[in-house]
């Protein structure tokens, strides 16, 4: 394994080296970085020209300039990185660090959400092949796949940003909107759940009644401006997820798994009160929250091992999923508590320009809400483009795997359909999707260039475009280095995951 990883890293380093050399030559020959100064009428134009020549080493031949850049990058192995200076004399390393933080945060979040939504939708679509749900999902997926990113981004700014902010000034749901949403839910939910005609009619009636009661009640509470969750809601929602995960992965008859998951929910409520005052202003910020999350997962594993008995492996999986959901709900509760104060600082919460709000002052949760609201629009657009790909690949992969001999053998032995899909078919079906994730991450970095331009983000895409327009190689090379390294690392992780998903695969 170690030799394989070293060989892959070595070959990847050669690919990166060749690509950086090619891009460097193309960029320095794409234009004249002194053109605007030569046309300037400034009195100190000669000084400015000489200054730019020094910043960009234009008095050196191209191979010397490339070697100077490469030497600075290789210095990172000794802890002394030097990405050079841009056309204005700014340190490209510092600019890259700031820009990479914005872009990678956006791309990572979009990728994770797209994987979760795409994989789940693809599995359900394959199980319900040629159903109404399958046809609707296929239509929506092809619609998302064919959307021009820049056009979808402009629509999102209008509908999800500007109009939502206008609505937040005086939030309210009219009766016509309530009835429309109730009808949509009454049609969509039965189509997703499926079943007999009688079951669908009952589900539709219950969905319609629930929406017609819940929306006016939430409107009366002014929930949009003063939302509420609390420990009781966390306990109920956590218990429902515990039941759902147990039913999906083990079956409700497996009491040990169910008791493990419900115990995790109970411990989550205890942890809610135990950490409440600590999380009001967490001393270490997100590091403290990450540490508490890891502790919650460790406790979930311990509970599953103690209670799970013969089904301890299944109990561990279900308990971990339940712990993740309950931890997310506790985190959501703290965000909700900070929402009214956040609205007083930022009355128009959904930002349409920039990755941060200038001069924003608030506590930890209000600042985190500001960063999250900045991510909503660009993340949604990138996610929709990727989720279409994951859904189609997962659907095709599941359909291919369930037609294999080992699936027919499992069914002939009397294995229930849940185990057939999630234990036998799922792991093999994830192999093509794992390959897509590796390629899609690099593709999303490319798509983020357009998204950043539309939403005014000062990320890697902005730095790349600015450098390219000015024939300035340093910012372009920094973008290539970050994007290329990410692509190499994700492809290596994908290759290693093949052996995890399918034990027959060895490197």
Residue written as token pair 């190689």 = 473
Q: What are phi and psi of 3, to 5 degrees?
A: -65, -35
- Predicted confidence at residue 1, as pLDDT, reads 67
- In the predicted model, residues of the chain with pLDDT beneath 50 are none
- Predicted confidence at residue 97, as pLDDT, reads 85
CA 294, 297, 428, 195 dihedral sign is negative
> Who's near 239: CB < 8 A, 6+ residues apart?
262, 265
Contacts 24+ apart (CB under 8 A), 30-34: 30/468, 30/471, 31/470, 31/471, 32/471, 33/58, 33/87, 33/470, 33/471, 33/472, 34/58
Strand partners, 85: 91
What's the CA gap between 164 and 169, in Å, rounded? 9
What's the CA gap between 127 and 417, in Å, rounded? 10
- Predicted confidence at residue 44, as pLDDT, reads 82
What's the CA gap between 190 and 196, in Å, rounded? 10
CA 413, 417, 418, 422 dihedral sign is positive
Predicted confidence (pLDDT) per residue in 60-82, tens digit = 888 888 998 888 888 877 777 78
3-state secondary structure of 229: coil
In this prediction the pTM is 0.82
Q: What angle do CA 111, 12, 397 make, to 5 degrees?
A: 40
> Who's near 83: CB < 8 A, 6+ residues apart?
69, 72, 73, 91, 92, 93, 96, 474, 477, 478, 481
List the one residue out of 118, 106, 185 whose CA is nearest residue 145: 118
List the one residue out of 248, 228, 236, 238 whose CA is nearest residue 327: 238
- Predicted confidence at residue 447, as pLDDT, reads 67
> Who's near 266: CB < 8 A, 6+ residues apart?
235
Q: Name the helix (H) or strand (E) containing 1.
A: none
Strand partners, 91: 85
3-state secondary structure of 246: helix
- Predicted confidence at residue 338, as pLDDT, reads 93
What's the CA gap between 367 and 376, in Å, rounded? 15
Q: What is the largest CA-CA distance in the chain?
A: 88
Q: How far is CA 31 from CA 28, 63, 91, in A?
A: 7, 17, 22
- Predicted confidence at residue 439, as pLDDT, reads 76
> Who's near 280: CB < 8 A, 6+ residues apart?
334
Q: What is the mean pLDDT of the chain?
A: 86
List the one residue out of 285, 288, 287, 317 whose CA is nearest residue 301: 317
Q: What are phi and psi of 229, to 5 degrees?
A: -135, -80
């Amino acid at each position: 394994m170690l030799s394989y990883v070293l060989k892959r890293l070595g070959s990847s380093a050669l690919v990166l080296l060749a690509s950086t050399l090619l891009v460097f030559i193309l960029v320095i020959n794409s234009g004249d970085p002194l053109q605007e100064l030569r046309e300037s009428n400034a009195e100190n134009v000669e000084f400015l020209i000489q200054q730019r020549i020094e910043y960009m080493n234009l008095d050196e031949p191209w191979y010397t300039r490339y070697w100077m850049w490469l030497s600075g990058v290789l210095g990172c192995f000794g802890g002394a990185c030097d990405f050079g200076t841009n056309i204005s004399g700014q340190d490209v390393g510092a600019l890259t660090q700031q820009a990479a933080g914005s872009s990678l945060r956006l791309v990572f979040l979009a990728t994770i959400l797209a994987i979760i939504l795409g994989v789940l939708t693809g599995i359900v679509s394959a199980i319900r092949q040629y159903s109404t749900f399958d046809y609707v999902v296929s239509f929506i997926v092809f619609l998302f796949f064919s959307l021009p990113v820049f056009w979808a981004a402009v629509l999102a700014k209008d509908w999800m940003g500007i109009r939502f902010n206008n609505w937040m000034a005086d939030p309210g749901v009219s009766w016509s909107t309530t009835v429309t949403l109730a009808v949509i839910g009454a049609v969509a939910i039965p189509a997703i759940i499926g079943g007999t005609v009688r079951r669908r009619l009952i589900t539709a009636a219950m969905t319609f009644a629930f929406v017609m009661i819940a929306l006016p009640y939430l409107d009366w509470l002014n929930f949009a401006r003063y939302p509420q969750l609390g420990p009781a809601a966390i306990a109920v929602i956590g218990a429902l997820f515990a039941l759902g995960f147990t039913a999906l992965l083990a079956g409700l008859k497996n009491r040990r798994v169910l008791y493990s998951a419900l115990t995790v929910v109970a411990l989550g409520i205890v942890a809610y009160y135990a950490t409440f005052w600590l999380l009001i202003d967490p001393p270490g910020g997100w590091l403290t929250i990450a540490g508490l999350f890891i502790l919650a997962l460790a406790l979930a594993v311990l509970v599953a091992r103690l209670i799970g008995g013969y089904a301890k492996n299944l109990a561990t999986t279900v308990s971990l999923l339940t712990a993740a959901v309950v931890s997310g709900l506790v985190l959501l509760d703290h965000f909700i508590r900070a929402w009214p104060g956040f609205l007083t600082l930022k009355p128009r919460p959904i930002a349409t320009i920039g990755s941060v709000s200038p001069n924003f002052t608030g506590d930890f949760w209000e600042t985190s809400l500001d960063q999250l609201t900045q991510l909503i629009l660009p993340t949604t657009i990138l996610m929709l483009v990727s989720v279409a790909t994951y859904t189609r690949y997962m659907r095709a992969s599941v359909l291919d795997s369930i037609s294999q001999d080992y699936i027919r053998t499992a069914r002939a032995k009397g294995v229930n359909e849940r185990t057939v899909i999630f234990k036998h078919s799922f792991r093999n079906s994830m192999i093509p999707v794992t390959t897509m994730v590796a390629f899609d991450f690099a593709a999303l970095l490319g798509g983020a260039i357009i998204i950043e331009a539309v939403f005014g983000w000062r990320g890697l895409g902005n730095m790349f475009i600015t450098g390219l327009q000015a024939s300035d190689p340093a910012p372009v090379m920094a973008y290539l280095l970050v994007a290329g390294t990410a692509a190499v690392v994700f492809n290596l992780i994908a290759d290693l995951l093949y052996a995890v998903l399918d034990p027959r695969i060895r490197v």
